[in-house]
Structure 1
Amino acid sequence: MNLRLLEIFRAVMQSHTTLGAARVLQISQPAVSTAIRQLEAQLGLALFDRRANRLVARDEAKILYEQSDSIFLMLHTLSQTAEELKENRYGHVRVVATPQLGHTVLPIAIQDLLAQRPNVKVFFDVRRSYTVVEKVESGAADLGLAIALEPELSSSVQMIPIASIGMVCVMRDTHPLSQASVLRPAQLAEHALIGLEMGSRLGPLVRGAFKSEQTPYRVNVEVRYSETACLLAKAGAGIAIVDTFSALAHAQPGSDLKIIPFQPDIRLDTWAILAKHRTASRLTMALVDSIQQCTRQFLDQAVSRHLLT
């Protein structure tokens, strides 16, 4: 059965005249009459009585109209789904991120994505950087977010820049060094330090900065995550040298933490990573756009609130 003919038939049933159906469908009245004759010929069944140039629906037409409701409801639903896919309002995206991003800008970006897309579902996980890369490469995640990745990874994954940030010192606002404009290894050497383990991506970078200035790197507490280091700094256990994202997550206005730039400058590039040989969905790329925008806003707000210089 031809769906277009069935659509014209339903318009006639709803409008009660061929002229009304023609207006609804924006076609000519003769085209409507021809379609009805074609449908009747296909069915081998008369659907209307012709009386004084009018079509009067038979019982068979009424039954066909009622039974075709489910078909057109399904087609309408399918059309809406196609439109939502086109506008990135339907589907799902699997994203995995390191804590620095997963606990700061990514929740904001996900909320921004979902605000206009109530039918979208996000699968969100927070892992260490090597697991982030592994999940993207294996196809277990559509999108990964991490910082300080090796440039050589671009041979196996697609890397999209998000931001470039530095490392900072975080301490209680009552700490003797809390009023410094910048802190270098020599100034930190005589104070309790909270360090990141050497198995992390950032720990060796901090150790390298101390070595370059010929200053011993001695830590009182060693931790795996920057977030843990910030919590210890907030408790007064010492000074933590962490990435800017983690620092901002804890040193918001009204907190008792202070952020001081660390020198020598350690640049940390932030990346969104995608599988190299798999086309990313429109929804995934929409989330990448949202992450880029939310990251800029997050960092700009930190500057305007005098949390960063």
Structure 2
Amino acid sequence: MPMNVFEKIIGNLDLMDRFIIRKVSKHLRLFTDRLSPGFKLVTIRMYESATTVCYDQNATAYSNRPRQFYDKIDICFVEIGDERVEIKNATHDQLAAQDLKIVLGNPKLELEEIEIERCCFWHSERLVEMMKSIPSPIHVECLKVLVNNPLKELEIIGCMRPRVLKTIHLDMENHGDKLERAEMKKRFDAMIATPQCQNVEMMTVVTYLKMEEFPMGSFLLAPRFTLNFEYLSVKDVMNVFRNLPKFAALDHFILKSDQKLNLESIRRNLNQRFSAIPDRPDCMHYWDRKSPFSFEVRFGELEIHVVKQQV
């Protein structure tokens, strides 16, 4: 059969059939793995006893049968749609990692988004090891990670292709154990120094820590970032603006709160340092004479945008 015809046939197969085809021979495995997949979104949920991986809207579920006292081996069920396969001597996280390595290691893969929505404490290490074992950086535009300490978000970000990666979204709401501020700062310092974070259009960090518990100093060298807190007091906002000239690499910064900001009080306090912009009541302007840059600040009910401008 001509290879161009075979390529069209494989292009119309679902993921399970592709996994079956690649087991026929070494030649078919190499050929199948080089074909461009037809999906743009990968979503990973890895729990203690089950893993689900969605390719666009097509879910692959991996689950282990509860071991009985007489069981000598692990049995894993893999389900795609109505198909169910039983695999012996395997665990759900192991099989999921093997299949993800095949998919994410495809040299023609060009994803729009990877979402790691949940990752169990016990299996996060396997997920990170799998991504690090892929020979080339993963081609993806947007990375979303729900951080479940000690998920190694820094190492995951390092597996993405710089300059292709446009946005990073880290959700820290699921921290089981609070990290010490010094340890958090160390991790953020290392993360922000990566080429991925230095080149993204926006890096977003969602945290339920209080402002005083959060290592704001780590973001002094971050060019574009959003910090989303559960609550921000007027004092919190003023502390950020008081240190605004220290953000040496700042290009665009968004400060967000899940609860409405006290904009009237914030603007009243900012009047000492900031000037109003005519015909733009939702904006203010700040310029430090010692700095070659000025900042435009735009206010919303739940967020404040700060954009650096050349004087």
With the shorter chain as reference, the TM-score category is under 0.3
Report which of the two structures shows the higher radius of gyration computed on alpha carbons: 1
Higher helix share: 1
Q: Which has the higher contact order (CA 8 A, sep 6+)?
A: 1
The normalised TM-score by structure 1 is 0.23
Higher strand share: 2
The normalised TM-score by structure 2 is 0.23
